[in-house]
């Protein structure tokens, strides 16, 4: 029996030994190849662009966000292949604001307040906590010897316009002279490699965020092309190689997709009791008038069981002011009927094709100053004005301009042999099915999607890390480097999706 016992014990030990050896073999990991930079020279990398390039996030520019800008993340990988130091014009604090002559030109960064994004100062005040001061003064010029020339708010042509510092506090801090251009200051750094990003983004974004109301127009394609060619010709004039991005469809961003068109919910105790009166005195009469003139679905009575669309002003709608005035004069009198005609002549209910900008969430159901009750409640009894809504026709203008910009960017990148990042396709994927980044599935949902920050437009730090990796992939494909294959890429877990209010 002892012999049998020892044989069994020996067999068990051999079995364990075999499993251990097999497991060990299974755990063997092939070493990654050493990094090669191909034909690119990263010894002096300079980034040119707008807010994404600067590291703008959560509605502000601040130290922690800048330290996670996509150019800074890229520079850390470039350093592994001979890249030099990368300096940025860091803000003085983490408030997110900037002063012009001691007065805030931009406010505090956004933080998550439990129900949604709120300004840092509001959040801290509600807690009874001290609010840190904004200390970055645009008038204190800190020189222009930097690698990052990301200028929040800059349109394509701003980057080549002399004297732009007088119009932009972020550039005023670093402009080499009052008449300097962003391009010339970037070229003065003698780059061997450059990134040119989101050129064209602000050229349509300003129009979109103002609801296409005409206060911030889309840059004409001819003006854009002139600026783009000047930028690329300048940056490549000394033989530098580089990478450029195209422009995403910005209406895929949560700034335009978060607020529902049917935000009037009858379960809201403030709205429900008013529905019968609203239908009797406003929606019913308007429905009858519009129907009589061949527009039966322009305004419908509010439902007591389903979410209702907000009431909006549509400058493309047939103006029925005269018809409304005429129909209501026998009931309301000529003066009051004329007021109704003026207010509702181009009103209609929103549809799923309309996009409400993110700030409209704080406007809907508020009262309109100077307008008499009961027709003075935004989106309910008073049409939500143009700046809060992107109509389908305005969305088409944005898409057409974006497509034209992207055709130019692709053509210039090809002619100059530059790497091209398809930021448009990346955002489209993130907005539809989501995009995988290491162990994370990221999408464009506000607050919880992980990709877009609390302002609904700019990326989170993790989003910028993903963007940096997409740049590195394009560089690999164009210049024969192997950042991806060698493992020299950003890791998602090293970058946050939000910053604590305690960060000061």
pLDDT tens per residue across span 28-85? 678 899 999 999 999 999 999 999 999 999 999 999 999 999 999 999 999 999 999 9
Query: How many helices (DSSP H) and strands (DSSP E) are in the chain?
Result: 17, 15
pLDDT band at 164; cut points 50, 70, 90: very high
298 and 386 belong to one structural domain:
yes
Q: What is the mean pLDDT of the chain?
A: 94
Residue 66: Cβ within 10 Å count: 21
Q: Are residues 311 and 238 in the same domain?
A: no
β partners of residue 99: 104, 137
pLDDT at 13: 35
Same domain flag for 447 and 371: no
Count of structural domains within the chain: 2
Decide if 39 is inside a domain.
Answer: no
Position 9 in a domain: no
Same domain, 145 and 61: yes
> How confident is residue 241, by pLDDT bands cut at 50, 70 and 90?
very high
Contact 456, 253 (CB under 8 A): yes
Does 398 share its domain with 386?
no
pLDDT in tens, 269-279: 999 999 999 99
Task: Check residue 88 and give left, alpha or beta (phi > 0: left; psi -120 to 50: alpha).
Answer: beta
Q: Do 402 and 315 share a structural domain?
A: no
Q: With 60 as the cut, is the pLDDT of residue 476 above it?
A: yes
pLDDT, position 131: 97
- 148 plus 51 within the same structural domain: yes
259: its two tokens: 């607020």
Which residue, 390, 416, 445, sits at the end of a domain? Answer: 390
Count of Cβ atoms closer than 10 Å to residue 300 Cβ: 17
Residues 143-165 have a mean pLDDT of 98
pTM, full prediction: 0.92
Q: Are residues 203 and 301 in the same domain?
A: no
Dump pLDDT digits (tens) for 392-421: 999 999 999 999 999 999 999 999 999 999
* Same-domain check for residues 381 and 399: no
Copy the structure tokens of residue 496. 């946050």
Burial class (CB in 10 A: 0-12, 13-18, 19+), 173: buried
The domain containing residue 217 runs over which residues? 45-257+392-494
pLDDT at residue 182 above 50?
A: yes
Sequence-distant (6+) residues with CB within 8 A of 282 are 374, 375, 381
**C-beta of residue 440 within 8 angstroms of C-beta of residue 492:** yes
Domain boundary among 342, 368, 390: 390
Note the residue count of the chain.
Answer: 504
State the average pLDDT over residues 208-216. Answer: 97
Q: What are phi and psi of 384, to 5 degrees?
A: -60, 130
Taking 60 as the threshold, does the pLDDT of residue 344 lie above it?
Answer: yes
Alpha-carbon torsion angle 71, 72, 74, 79, nearest 10: 130
Q: From residue 488, give the alpha-carbon distance in Å to each of 45, 79, 84, 175.
A: 17, 10, 16, 33
Tell me if 22 is assigned to some domain.
no
Same domain, 131 and 278: no
User: Is residue 23 a part of any domain in this protein?
Assistant: no
Same domain (yes/no): 74, 180: yes
- State the Cα–Cα distance between residues 176 and 163, nearest whole angstrom: 10
CA distances (Å), 229 to each of 106, 236, 423, in order? 31, 11, 20
Joined together, the tokens standing for residue 31 give 């070493």
**Residue 263 maps to a domain:** no
List the CATH number of the domain containing 207: 3.40.50.1110
Q: How far apart are CA 121 and CA 111, in angstroms?
A: 9
Cα–Cα distance, 56 to 327 (Å, whole number) = 52
Q: What is the pLDDT of residue 353?
A: 98
* 38, part of any domain: no
- Claim to verify: residue 370 and residue 410 sit in the same structural domain: no
What is the β-pairing status of strands 148-150 and 117-119?
unpaired
Q: Is 313 helix (H, G, I), strand (E, B) or coil?
A: strand
Q: Is residue 17 part of a domain?
A: no
pLDDT bucket at 373, cuts 50 / 70 / 90:
confident
Q: Is residue 488 part of a domain?
A: yes
């Amino acid at each position: 029996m002892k012999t049998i016992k020892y044989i069994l014990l020996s067999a068990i030990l051999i079995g364990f030994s075999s499993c251990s050896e097999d497991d060990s073999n299974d755990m063997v990991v092939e070493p990654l190849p050493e990094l090669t930079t191909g034909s690119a020279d990263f010894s002096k990398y300079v980034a040119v662009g707008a807010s994404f390039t600067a590291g703008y996030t959560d509605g502000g520019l601040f130290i922690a966000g800048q330290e996670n800008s996509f150019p800074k993340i890229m520079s850390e990988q470039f350093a592994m292949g001979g890249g030099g130091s990368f300096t940025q014009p860091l803000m003085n604090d983490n408030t997110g604001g900037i002063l012009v002559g001691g007065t805030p030109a931009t406010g505090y960064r956004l933080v998550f307040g439990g129900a949604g994004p709120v300004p840092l100062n509001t959040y801290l005040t509600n807690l009874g906590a001290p609010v840190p001061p904004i200390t970055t003064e645009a008038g204190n010029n800190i020189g222009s010897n930097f690698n990052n020339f990301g200028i929040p708010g800059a349109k394509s042509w701003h980057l080549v316009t002399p004297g732009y510092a007088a119009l932009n506090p972020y550039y005023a801090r670093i402009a080499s002279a009052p008449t300097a251009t962003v391009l010339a200051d970037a070229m003065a750094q003698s780059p061997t490699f450059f990134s040119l990003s989101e050129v064209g983004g602000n050229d349509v974004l300003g129009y979109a965020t103002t609801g296409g109301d005409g206060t911030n127009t889309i840059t004409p394609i001819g003006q854009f092309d002139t600026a783009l060619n000047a930028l690329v010709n300048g940056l490549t004039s000394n033989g530098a190689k580089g990478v450029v991005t195209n422009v995403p469809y910005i209406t895929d961003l949560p700034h335009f997709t978060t607020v529902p068109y049917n935000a009037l919910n009858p379960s809201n105790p403030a709205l429900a009791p008013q529905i019968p009166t609203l239908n009797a005195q406003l929606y019913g009469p308007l429905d009858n008038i519009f129907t009589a003139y061949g527009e039966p679905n322009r305004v419908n009575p509010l439902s007591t069981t389903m979410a209702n669309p907000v009431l909006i002003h549509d400058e493309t709608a047939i103006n029925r002011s005269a018809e409304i005035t005429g129909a209501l004069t026998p009931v309301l009198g000529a003066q009051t009927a004329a007021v109704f005609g003026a207010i509702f002549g181009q009103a209609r209910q929103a549809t799923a094709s309309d996009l409400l900008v993110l700030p409209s969430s704080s406007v809907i159901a508020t009262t309109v100053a100077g307008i008499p009750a009961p027709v003075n409640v935004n989106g309910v009894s008073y049409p939500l004005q143009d700046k809060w809504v992107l109509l389908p026709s305005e969305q088409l203008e944005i898409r057409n301009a974006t497509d034209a910009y992207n055709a130019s960017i692709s053509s210039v990148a090809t002619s100059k042999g530059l790497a091209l990042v398809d930021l448009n396709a990346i955002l489209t994927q993130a907005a539809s099915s989501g995009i995988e980044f290491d162990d994370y599935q990221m999408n464009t949902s506000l607050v919880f999607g992980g990709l877009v920050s609390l302002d609904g437009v700019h990326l989170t730090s993790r989003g910028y890390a993903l963007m940096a990796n997409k740049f590195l992939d394009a560089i690999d494909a164009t210049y024969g480097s192997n950042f991806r294959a060698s493992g020299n890429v950003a890791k998602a877990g090293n970058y946050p999706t939000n910053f604590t209010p305690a960060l000061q």
